[in-house]
Amino acid sequence: MTATAPHVTVRAWRDLDPQARDLPGMSLGTLPVTSQPRQVDRLWDLGVRHAELDSVVDLSNDDPASHRRVVERLCLVRDLTARAVSVDWDLRLSPGESAHQWKVLSHLQPPRTVTGLDGAEEALHAWRTRHYLCKLVWRQGPGFLQIRDRRWGDLRRFTAEEPRYREAVDLLLTGAHHTDVPADVLEEFTAEHLVLRVGELAWWLPYRVSRWLQEAMAV
């Protein structure tokens, strides 16, 4: 498969309102999404304001062949959330994990369904009622990288000035084999729940801020 071949498809509309989506001209049909950078910018420019993923994001699957597909869809949900594009997606979690594993992903737009977890309905309700944009974000400043995390109810802020942290983020953005990332940097990111492991892949959870949705000091 080439680098430009579609890995994911989405059904897309010009409006997030369900009634408006039924109006003539609102549907954009099924669109391919490739692994190339800035694919969400392309969707935005096409007029996409609501999207529906083509399959379940299954974090319970132990098959290594499925892990890249899972990460590709998580990238899309993360980057659409950063654009404030509404997303319909379904999440299957592993029953062997913590009952609060959904909180690691709670900065993403809430899924349509959550399965595979005891108390899944309660988790989904909490996710929907507590979600807001910019809950876990990162930004690149002059000579530093900063992450702001509010998933746990308070503001946790991390600032890194060494270039190797940004280099690690560049690798992790689309998912990297964990051995390709410096072990000490990956350990730091993992300890702060900034990286999600999907099999042998490590994936960067925060989305990037292009502009603050409110005054920067309040985010």
64-82 vs 39-46: helix crossing angle, rounded to 10? 50
The pLDDT score that the predictor gives to residue 95 is 82
Sheet holding 27-34, edge to edge: 27-34, 6-13, 50-53, 86-88
- Predicted local confidence at residue 193, as pLDDT: 96
- 55-90: buried (b, 16+ CB within 10 Å) or exposed (e) per residue? ebbbbbbeeeeebbbbbbbbbbbbbbbbbebbbebe
Tell me the residue type at 155.
L
Element (H, E) at 146: strand 144-149
Res 209: pLDDT: 73
Residue with tokens 């049909």: 29
Token pair belonging to 120: 């899944």
Tens of each residue's pLDDT in the chain, 219 residues: 333 445 799 999 999 999 999 999 999 999 999 877 789 999 999 999 999 999 999 999 989 989 999 999 999 999 999 999 999 999 999 887 766 789 999 999 999 999 998 889 999 999 999 999 999 999 988 889 999 999 999 999 999 999 999 999 999 999 999 999 999 999 999 999 999 999 999 999 999 975 555 555 444
